[in-house]
Every structure is written in C-alpha cells, then in structure tokens.
A = this chain, B = another copy of it.
Amino acid sequence: MSAYPANLLEALRAEPGVKLSERATKDADWWPGDAPQDKKAAEKRMEQLAELLSDLQERLFAASVAGGQGPAVLLILQGMDTSGKGGTVRHVLGMLDPQGVKHHAFKAPTEEEAAHDFLWRITRQLPAGGLVGVFDRSHYEDVLVAKVKGFATPDAVESRYGKIVDFEKQLIEQGIHPIKVMLHISREEQFERLSARLERADKHWKYSPGDVDDRLLWDDFQSAYEVAINRTDNQGAPWHIVPADQKWKARLCVAELLLATLERVAPDWPVATFDVEQEKARLAAAK
C-alpha cells in the first residue's frame, strides 16, 4: 500500500475506479507521514482542531447572521452498521457549537416520504446558510439499501446516480458544500463491534436484528458502495474513504476533512451593517 500519497487528505480521496477491497480499513502502512502517528499525538491534534474548527464555524455562522444566506457545509456520513457514524457525530461534531450544527439521521422512509421523489426528504433537511449540516445516512441509501434489497427497480437505481450528481451540483451552486465520507470498516471489525453490543446490556439499544441480516449481505453492500462511489465521485463533490477500524484515526480524518472544507468556504468576519461610531455614541448616551 505504499502507493498512497504522503498527504492525509489526498490519501482519503476515492481515486477514479476505486476498489473498496484495495482500500485500507486499518493497516498502518498507508497512514501518511503528515498525520499523527499514535493515539496520544492524535488527541493533541484534536485539541488544536477543536479550536480551529470553533473559530471557523463562528465565522461561517456570522456571515449568515450579518448578510442573509451565506455558505453552509454538509457532512454526509455513510458506512455499514457499527462503522462509527454516531461516534463521529458525537466526537467530531461535538467539538462545534450546537447552535451552528444541524444534524439529521435518516431512517427507513415514512409513508409520506416514500410518496415523494427520493430527494424530497433530503432537501427538507438541508442546512441553512451558516450551518454545518450532518447527515447520518443520506440520499445514498437510495442507491445502497434500495439496490441490495430491491426496494427500487434496477432502472430506478440506475437513474438515481445521475440525479444525485446533479443534485449535489445544485447544492454547491446554492453555497452548500458537501463532504462525502464513507467510513470503511472490515467485516472482522464489524463482528467485534456487534458482539460487543450484544455482550453489554447498556449497548443493547444500539443493536437491531436487522444488523445481522445486512451483515449476511456484506459483499452486496460493498459492491453497491463501490458502484455508488464511482458513479457519483466528481471534482466538485468528491468521495472520501475513511479507514474506520480504529476509531481515533477515523475521527481525526473526518475532523481534518471538516477543517479543510471550512478553511476553503468560511467567509471572513462580516463587515458591520451599521455605523459603528454612531452606535458607540448611542450606547454611551444609554449608559
């Protein structure tokens, strides 16, 4: 795996024609030299990231308060059961100000949702300007579970890849910048994590018998992910494949992706929309 680039963000990119079976879920070999090399170093970097993210998030938020609809960020988290989507939200998005985060976890569509186009319910959960949106599962379920379990016809699934590309292009035009992440775990690691959930009474609520049903379709899901990623990866809305067998690495990767995006899109502090000197005088008069 020495073919991986030295830069973390580049290492996470889904290259054209990516094969998931060739992407690391854990091995240290590919872990780039510019990233923290152990958990302790990662914790230190996470503390830095918390400060950097906090500052940028406030600037993102400020821009929309001051001047209408500014840019937004949308983190799209996909991955097999137990891949760490929830933990990523808790530990990475947990570093941000809750006022600036809009989180939504997509479940099986309700009757009302199923009666609309698959992107209808997605659109309703988009972050407003200034916010960091987080989708725990997303429109990609409509080309993943829908394909594997036959909830949609092959033709319908086929038509959705292009619709998703167009949709995400429109998002960017609206100022909503997607960060597409697949948390990539190994079949072995999933076994360990599901076992742990069954062992501990305080983890039972995280387990569903459907998790084993899906596990039995592991190869079909991997293949559906591979097709979905290849068909919807593009320069404007690239896919990132985050090795997720080790939680500390996965969380660090997502935090770095978030930082890179915020650095790119967060505007500078907005200019006052009022006369500062005049307001100082008014305030002084109201002392």
Binding site for B on A (CB under 8 A): 62-63, 65-66, 86, 89-90, 93-94, 96-99, 101, 103, 105, 134, 136, 191, 194-195, 198, 201-202, 204-209, 212, 215-216, 269-272, 274, 276, 279-280, 282-283, 286-287
Contact = CB atoms under 8 A, between A and B. Distances in A.
Contact of A209 (B101, B208, B271, B282): B282
A93 B98 contact: yes
11 contacts: A86-B99, A89-B98, A94-B98, A98-B101, A195-B283, A198-B276, A201-B269, A204-B272, A209-B274, A212-B282, A212-B283
B215 A286 contact: yes
The copy count of this chain in the complex is: 2
A279 B209 contact: yes
Contacts of A97: 89-90, 94
B282 A202 contact: no
B282 A205 contact: no
Contacts of A105: 99
A204 B276 contact: yes
A283 to B, nearest CB: 6
Contacts of A195: 280, 283
A198 B94 contact: no
A90 B94 contact: no
Contacts of A66: 204-205
B269 A204 contact: yes
A187 B127 CA distance: 36
B207 A274 contact: yes
Nearest to A271: B204
A207 B89 contact: no
B209 A270 contact: no
